[in-house]
Amino acid sequence: MTTILLAQQLFTPINTIEDAAVSIEDGIIAGVGTRDELTIPPNARVLDFGDSILAPGLIDIHIHGGAGHDVMEGSDDSLAAIERLMTKHGVTSYCPTTVTAPVDDTLRSLELLGIAAKRSSSNQYDSTRARPLGVHLEGPFLSHVKRGVHPPALLQPASRELFDRMWNAADGRISVLTIAPEIEGAVELITEAAHRGVRVSLGHSDAELAQAQAGISAGARHATHTFNAMRVLAHRDPGILGAVLTDDRTSADIIVDGIHVDPTLVDLFVRAKGVERAVLITDAISATGMPDGTYRLGDIEVQVHDGRCESNGRLAGSVLTLDRAVRNTASFANVSLQNAIRMATLNPAHVLGMEKRKGILAAGADADLAVFTPQGNVMRTIIGGVVN
């Protein structure tokens, strides 16, 4: 059966369509246009969302957990809880993100997450759950100086052998690798991972400018939670931030919760990367959607109070949701809601090389949508053409 969605506006997200309509067949978008342009079959199911906005479903490429669970638990029950929480906030796809842990624990988690990513691409996945697209491996190839809360004893030099073990454990479903370009073996591993189609992201790094540039030349094309866990930008020592903010070959993501980065620097970030290369993430942990208290990030104990997540005085992820990141960005950087939504849809899809299927409303793309109020609040989430 054909499903027709109607709304006052639609963000593709590059363009805006007024008095909009979307046609969906078998979980795929069949057509996008105005109500006058689309033919509505007589037996179609028609859903009219009034003065709302249709947009692509949000994509979070850096999330550790939510609803009291961590993605590294890897069980279907834990992932289901996290994924249903994300769906409430307009997220339809995501990259479950690891944290540095003992190698055997990481391999076990990667095996379970790889299975989940494989299963999510089939029609068997519950339509009430956001779908894992591939794993984001954050750690263990990070800088000791800028490790954040990643356990120092478990950090590793960049190793092709260890990466191969992780790659095989996840059945090749590693989509993003965060790595510090200055550590031993990093340039060689960046080259190899990029050759396999992994989007290599510079992060948790104390790299000098030349070291960061070498990482980009080797194939790194993204940056992880810009400003956080990075060498500070100085006017005579621009370091990794100098490379990330100025090199048009790289996209970059940022945590816009008002805690990790001052709103003024969010504005600077968007000006530097432009609406085409800026990506919004949450870096959310198990405490997301839960009351204040003590939670876990992998094996790390985290205290959460008034939206701030800390472990031994260091920031340890967030309780941010991606729809709130969109609204915050529109406010902090003085950009349109449409452009803020682009940073959480098409741009992360482009990071993953999936921009023809995800993060866009166009014929042939997956029917993953979020319905927003004009103020940017999520009304409904649609995954695979099923309205939740």
What's the CATH number where 153 sits? 3.20.20.140
| 247-257 residues labelled b (16+ CB within 10 A) or e (exposed) | beebbbbbbbb
Q: Are 139 and 204 in contact (CB under 8 A)?
A: yes
The domain of 205 spans 58-358
**Are residues 185 and 81 located together in one domain of the fold?**
yes
Q: Which two tokens stand for residue 66?
A: 């939510």
The β-bridge partners of 23 are 4, 31
Closest CA to 267 of 215, 227, 303, 312: 227
**Are residues 133 and 278 located together in one domain of the fold?**
yes
d(CA 186, CA 183): 6
d(CA 388, CA 35): 23
**Are residues 65 and 83 located together in one domain of the fold?**
yes
Tell me which residues are annotated as active site. Answer: 283
**pTM reported for the whole predicted model:** 0.98
Residue 218, C-beta contacts closer than 8 angstroms, at least 6 positions apart: 181, 187, 188, 190, 191, 194
d(CA 117, CA 265): 34
**Are residues 105 and 140 located together in one domain of the fold?**
yes
**Are residues 40 and 76 located together in one domain of the fold?**
no
Number of compact structural domains in the chain:
2
What's the CATH number where 22 sits? 2.30.40.10
Structural domain includes residue 368: no
**Are residues 117 and 230 located together in one domain of the fold?**
yes
Q: What pLDDT tens digit does each residue of the chain (388 aa) get? A: 899 999 999 999 999 999 999 999 999 999 999 999 988 888 999 999 999 999 999 999 999 999 999 999 999 999 999 999 999 999 999 999 999 999 999 999 999 999 999 998 776 788 899 999 999 999 999 999 999 999 999 999 999 999 999 999 999 999 999 999 999 999 999 999 999 999 999 999 999 999 999 999 999 999 999 999 999 999 999 999 999 999 999 999 999 999 999 999 999 999 999 999 999 999 999 999 999 999 999 999 999 999 999 999 999 999 999 999 999 999 999 999 999 999 999 999 999 999 999 999 999 999 999 999 999 999 999 999 998 7
The β-bridge partners of 202 are 179, 223
**Are residues 85 and 159 located together in one domain of the fold?**
yes
d(CA 341, CA 369): 12
Q: Are 374 and 360 in contact (CB under 8 A)?
A: no
